């Protein structure tokens, strides 16, 4: 079951993170600016951000496995359509579809983990499954950029779609059918009322919002920065992300244990401060590729451990 959920997170992460190194190629293909190409990330994120709060609670009233299947299928359709996009307008629409698929899928992954595990084991499993996002950067992004370099950027989304099919097959086999938590119609709205009465969760959400705002502000244009600063092609840029992804993967995989030992609050504060150091260091030593890769390797564990700490704060 953990393997199945890990694969789901891996493929949704790969599809999300691969955009950064592909932005120059997409902008060039559609003869648009980098900023216009980056708007596809905004659209995906908005659909995910707006869809998750409303689609996620459906897991309390409907079978979560069924919701996971629907979510992955919608995500799959969005990925394949992105591979077929021949205009930036169509690409925007197809990224929106993929974002809605992710909005239905990922919240139910975390809810499934919360329903089946508890205590220290919950932190461990959460860390393992979250590490799928990091591994998607270390493995999925380089593979996608390599395919893009061999053919064009569309090939990266064909590859994403094929891996999504594999994840879907694994889901059908290993994730059990989950009982409905609450069949009452009022249960859907009750979840929002419960959140409103939990100040601790609200503060954690606000902290996470600020964190992710900063993280994606940098990550979105990281591929463009590397390509233009060090004059690398799309494939070579993807390889730079390996250092970032592997370090983040290790941190996420073992982050549950770190969070358990340090405590959620200390974990979040420590990794937030380290991330500030990473951003400042990157701005100072931005002309040296080896230093940039070194900063990736040292500072990239922060998001993984941070994520585990934030998830613990929610509870």
**Arithmetic mean of pLDDT, 290-305:** 62
Task: Give pLDDT tens digits for 242-284.
Answer: 777 776 676 666 665 666 676 666 777 777 777 777 777 777 7
Indicate if the pLDDT at residue 313 is higher than 60.
no
What does the pLDDT read at residue 216?
A: 78
- What angle, 0 to 180 degrees and rounded to 10, lies between the N-to-C axes of helices 234-262 and 141-150? 170
How far is the C-alpha of 302 from the C-alpha of 269, rounded, in Å?
10
Residues of the chain above pLDDT 70, percent: 80
Burial environment of residue 123 by CB neighbours within 10 A (0 to 12, 13 to 18, 19 or more): buried
Indicate if the pLDDT at residue 193 is higher than 70.
yes
The two tokens of residue 266 are 């200390």
What does the pLDDT read at residue 73?
A: 93
**Arithmetic mean of pLDDT, 214-241:** 81
pLDDT greater at residue 183 or residue 67 = 67
Task: Give pLDDT tens digits for 28-71.
Answer: 999 999 989 989 988 998 998 888 888 877 767 778 888 888 99
What does the pLDDT read at residue 188?
A: 63
The two tokens of residue 178 are 């989950």
CA dihedral 215, 301, 103, 172 (to 10 degrees): 160
What does the pLDDT read at residue 177?
A: 73
Query: Which CA distances in Å does 282 have to 86, 287, 296?
Result: 35, 9, 9
What does the pLDDT read at residue 132?
A: 81
**Arithmetic mean of pLDDT, 305-311:** 52
The residue assigned the tokens 């659209």 is 43
Indicate if the pLDDT at residue 95 is higher than 90.
yes
The DSSP string of 182-197 is ---TTHHHHHHHHHHT
Task: For residue 24, give every residue at least 6 positions away whose Cβ sits within 8 Å of its Cβ, in sequence order, or none.
Answer: 34, 223, 224, 227, 228, 234
How far is the C-alpha of 9 from the C-alpha of 133, rounded, in Å?
6
Which stretches of 75-132 are assigned E, i.e. beta strand? none
Helix (H, G, I), strand (E, B) or coil at 178: coil
What does the pLDDT read at residue 92?
A: 95
Indicate the average pLDDT of the chain: 79
DSSP class of 287: T
What does the pLDDT read at residue 256?
A: 59
CA angle at 56 for the pair 125 and 217, rounded to the nearest 5°: 80
Query: Among 8-12, 74-78, 137-141, where is mean pLDDT lowest?
Result: 137-141
Report whether 82 contacts 157 (CB < 8 A).
yes
Residues of the chain above pLDDT 90, percent: 15
Task: Give pLDDT tens digits for 97-150.
Answer: 999 999 999 888 888 888 888 777 887 788 788 878 777 877 777 888 888 888
């Amino acid at each position: 079951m953990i393997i199945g959920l890990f694969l789901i997170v891996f493929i949704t992460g790969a599809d999300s993170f691969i955009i950064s190194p592909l932005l120059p190629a997409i902008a060039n293909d559609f003869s648009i600016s980098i900023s216009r190409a980056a708007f596809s990330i905004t659209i995906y994120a908005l659909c995910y951000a707006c869809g998750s709060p409303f689609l996620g609670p459906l897991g309390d009233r409907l079978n979560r496995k069924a919701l996971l299947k629907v979510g992955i299928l919608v995500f799959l359709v969005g990925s394949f359509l992105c591979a077929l996009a021949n205009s930036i307008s169509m690409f925007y629409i197809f990224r929106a579809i993929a974002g809605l698929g992710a909005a239905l899928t990922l919240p139910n992954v975390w809810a499934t983990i919360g329903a089946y595990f508890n205590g220290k084991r919950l932190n461990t499993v959460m860390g393992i499954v979250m590490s799928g996002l990091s591994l998607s950067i270390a493995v999925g992004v380089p593979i996608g950029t390599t395919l893009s370099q061999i053919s064009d950027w569309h090939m990266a989304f064909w590859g994403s779609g094929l891996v999504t099919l594999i994840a879907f097959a694994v889901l059908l086999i290993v994730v059990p059918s989950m009982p409905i938590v609450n069949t009452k119609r009022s249960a859907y709205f009750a979840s929002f009322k419960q959140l409103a009465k939990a100040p601790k969760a609200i503060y954690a959400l606000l902290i996470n919002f600020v964190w992710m705002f900063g993280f994606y502000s940098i990550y979105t244009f990281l591929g463009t920065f590397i390509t233009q600063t060090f004059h690398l092609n799309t494939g070579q840029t993807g390889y730079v992300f390996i250092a970032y992804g592997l370090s983040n993967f290790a941190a996420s995989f073992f982050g549950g244990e770190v969070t358990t030992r340090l405590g959620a609050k200390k974990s979040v504060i420590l990794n937030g401060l380290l991330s500030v150091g990473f951003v400042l260091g990157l701005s100072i030593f931005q002309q040296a590729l080896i230093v940039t890769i070194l900063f990736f390797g040292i500072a990239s564990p922060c998001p993984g451990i941070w994520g585990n700490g934030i998830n613990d704060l929610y509870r």
